[in-house]
Amino acid sequence: MIVEGYNCGPMRLASRTELGPYEIQSLLGAGGMGEVYRAKDTRLGRDVAIKVLPEKLARDAERLRRFEIEARAIAALNHPNILSIHDIGTHEGVAYLISECLEGQSLRMELSGGAFPWRRVVDYGIQIAQGLAAAHDKGIVHRDLKPENVFVTRDGRVKILDFGVAKLVQPESSVEDGATMDAGPTSSGVVLGTVGYMSPEQVKAEPADARSDIFALGMILYEMLSGQRAFKRETSAETMTAILKEDVPELSPTGKPVPAALERIIRRCLEKKPLQRFQSARDLAFNLEGLSGTSSTSTSGAYGVALEYATKKNSRKQAMTLAAGLLLLAFIGAGSWLLGARSSSVAPLAYHQLTFDRGLVYAARFAGEGPAIYYSASWNGEPVQLYSTQPDTPESRPLNLVNSTLFAVSPSQLAISIGCKDRYIGLCQGTLGLVPLAGGTPREVANDVLAADWSL
């Protein structure tokens, strides 16, 4: 990592010192859990970052155990928003961790310039939440999430750093790939984390889970948006008391426009009781993604987050009536166009072929203003699934959502039918799901849905 403006003090390892196959070049940063150096991997000829424990801590069995936990925790994760770990080792009593070498600065350094535009807050928030979701899926809770442990690369990629005080919890169902790990329980009554970003349960030295990370992310979102720490007080004791008992101040004292939906999201992250927060980082990321296309401070979120849909309870007859009405409108529109075309000098429409397989297309929609097009189709007898394409390319990209058809498209999400069956003139009965435009795991909304569209 290249950390700008970090006053690290004297360097413990001199330049050109060798740790195994790694040659130290310069000191990048230092913190409570170790020092970070830029180094050269002499085997592969690449730049890496080396984190080493301070000598006095390397002799501390508990600190060494936590260092090893950090290495195992991060190495088990493979996600673009989490620092990648390449290696771990010891050399002449020095324990070290090898990671990718990043160029950019910490979120703390970026915050030194003041509050961010809300769209950047949403962008960073989505990336952090997605990284946390990947860690939580493996049973890893960070427990020390703060701007110092978030890195922003020069191309805008956000990376979560330092799982040094991570608590590994056993997920509900174990996995076979060895990515789920156990660790000894933290001593009862020991508070781990950073005071200004602790959740209420951490302040009280109670068990922390994924929702504690969500609270910390809420603090970071608040700080990015307002330029101020949510519960900053004169002393640590006063800060912890504020976290436990006080409401977070208003988000926009400067009068800058802030989407009401974003403020609600942040306040939900900062609920005192874990049960009242988002219950998963993936749900938080999903809600933030819904704001990525918002153009005003309306409370409805992107494109009117609400969906209107017809379900089986509304009867199949109602859905068929809707389909027939839409078809009738299409015929009327086509007839009007043909009559108008005969009596005007408008140039005839030009057609451009977008698909080249044989099959049936069930629905197609432009994404916002275009040019991306999303559609569902069954090609060459294969199961129906979702695709995206661009007018200037002959290739369609499958979204890996098999047995799904498209209902509607907003600027940031797709409304789809999952496990659809019994199609009627483009209608399909299945589970209504929402999924980001880039694809991913759908979020299920309602069962037995026959039709859906965005409420403008």
Q: Supply the residues annotated as catalytic.
A: 144
**CA dist., res. 143 & res. 120, Å (int):** 24
Backbone angles phi and psi of 412, in degrees to 5: -130, -10
46 three-state secondary structure: strand
Count of residues making up the chain: 456
Where in 278-389 does DSSP place strands (E)? 307-311, 359-366, 373-379, 385-389
Residue type, 113: G
The DSSP line for 283-309 is: HHHHHHHTTTT--S--TTTTTTS-EEE
Q: Which residues of 68-92 are buried (b: 16+ CB within 10 A; e: fewer)?
A: ebbbbbbbbbebebbbebbbbeeee
The arrangement of strands across the sheet holding 158-160 comes to 104-106, 150-153, 158-160
Cβ neighbours of residue 318 under 8 Å, at least 6 residues apart?
Answer: 310
Name the strand (E) or helix (H) holding 86. strand 85-91
Q: Are strands 85-91 and 46-52 parallel, antiparallel or unpaired?
A: unpaired
Distance, CA of 337 to chain centre? 45
Cβ neighbours of residue 428 under 8 Å, at least 6 residues apart?
Answer: 362, 405, 417, 420, 421, 422, 450
| Token output for 350 | 């030009």
Backbone angles phi and psi of 340, in degrees to 5: -65, -35
**CA dist., res. 220 & res. 108, Å (int):** 10
CB 300, CB 255: distance < 8 Å: no
